[in-house]
Amino acid sequence: MFGGKTIVVLGPRQVGKTTLARQLASSMPDVPVLWLTGDDPETQQLLAHAPLGRLRSLIDQNRLIVVDEAQRVAGIGLTLKLIHDNFPDVQLLVTGSSALDLAEQTAEPLTGRKWEYLMLPLSFAELVHHHGLIEERGQLRHRLVFGAYPDVVNAPGSARETLNLLANDYLYKDLFRLEQMKKPVLLEHIVRALAFQIGSEVSYHEIAQLVGASPQTVEKYIDLLEKAFIVYRLTAFSRNLRNEIKKSRKIYFWDNGIRNAILGNFSGIETRTDAGALWENYMVAELLKQKEYARTFAKSYFWRTTDQQEVDYIEELDGQLTVYEFKWNPTAKAKLPDILNRNYPVKAFHVVAPEQYDLYLMGEQV
């Protein structure tokens, strides 16, 4: 804060971006704050393509300007640039729930002028700091089914209802209002197909055949789902081996609870046939959160060859690979493929089962 950069916080709906902004503002009681919300039609009119004179009157003596849900304001990127360039003593704090709307609007106008952060559903480490390690480890089976949205964590008894509302809010409120979203029913079919395929390689062509659309349309809709922070695409790692899968991808959900709400399946983990896939989705999402919050800027991949040798997850940092296999069954065996180890600089190989998963999500294993 007050380091000469606009701060942009992106993330899905209902993860606590507004709460965070209020906490930051209240932590500086001597700093005059102007709070603006993009959900308010009057604020949208005031800020959309606003001239400098209006902005000067609006800001007045305030030194912290919070623009919540900024993606709702037309031309917000240029408005933020005007504030940033003409009011050097003012700190801008901007939140948005759609990377499609906000990140693209601010990308060019705020080049070199912003710090951008991603805020996601609660991470294991955050929950441990709040509940303690023993209690949070005891919640693992609940997290695999219901996820870790703040409202779900705070009111576990209402988790099913909360997640159904969240899933509908995602799919209908944010995505269907976009001009690119011509066929809402098609999106529902695609997102259900993805929910069934977590942990497996995803073929746009196969999904297209399944839902009756072109592969290009499927890819476009998946891109929108990713920019709305519903799913994350993990690409294949490849450098030089002829038999490596190079253009494939896996798709994970940022939150297990949203995935299960889409399928309408909240049965207990002990009775499920997809327990291994839920475990893999949970661990990939948690490691992605850890990487994001630590600002390591590591790159994430999976790896597979045409003869079915594979690993679930790879992080590449400074040319070194940390390789992970996720096993829900603690007796399941896994080893680092020789071909991967011989041809690449593997720093570490981890087989992660529920008994010791906290070591990896608290940053204790490297």
* pLDDT tens profile 109-119: 788 889 999 99
Distance, in Å, from the CA atom of 72 to the CA atom of 47, rounded to the nearest integer, reads: 10
Residue with tokens 């990377």: 99
pLDDT at position 268 is 96
Please say if the pLDDT value at position 184 is more than 80: no
Say how many C-beta atoms besides its own lie within 10 A of residue 110's C-beta: 22
Distance, in Å, from the CA atom of 109 to the CA atom of 91, rounded to the nearest integer, reads: 16
Closest CA to 227 of 254, 200, 207, 260: 254
The answer to whether 261 touches 145, Cβ cutoff 8 Å, is: no
Residue 248 pLDDT level (bands cut at 50, 70, 90):
confident
What is the residue-wise DSSP string for 261-272? HHHT----GGG-
Distance, in Å, from the CA atom of 190 to the CA atom of 222, rounded to the nearest integer, reads: 8
CA atoms within 13 A on the CB side of 48: 12
Residue 194 pLDDT level (bands cut at 50, 70, 90):
very high
What is the residue-wise DSSP string for 101-131? IIIHHHHTTTTTTEEEEE--SPPHHHHHHHH
- What are the pLDDT digits (tens) for 310-326? 999 999 999 999 999 99
DSSP state of 183: -
Domain range list for the chain: 6-118, 124-361
pLDDT at position 316 is 95
DSSP state of 12: -
Q: What is the CA radius of gyration of the chain?
A: 22
Structure tokens at 201: 């390689």
CATH topology of domain 6-118: Rossmann fold (3.40.50)
DSSP H helical ranges for the chain: 17-26, 41-47, 52-59, 76-86, 104-107, 124-131, 133-137, 140-146, 150-154, 159-168, 184-196, 204-211, 215-227, 256-263, 275-294, 338-343, 357-361
Distance, in Å, from the CA atom of 318 to the CA atom of 316, rounded to the nearest integer, reads: 7
Residue 366 pLDDT level (bands cut at 50, 70, 90):
very low
Structure tokens at 79: 């408005």
- What are the pLDDT digits (tens) for 30-53? 999 999 999 899 999 999 989 999
The lowest-confidence range among 132-136, 180-184, 284-288 is: 180-184
Structure tokens at 136: 């949070």
Q: Per CATH, the architecture of 124-361 is what?
A: Orthogonal Bundle (1.10)
Write down the mean pLDDT value for the chain.
90
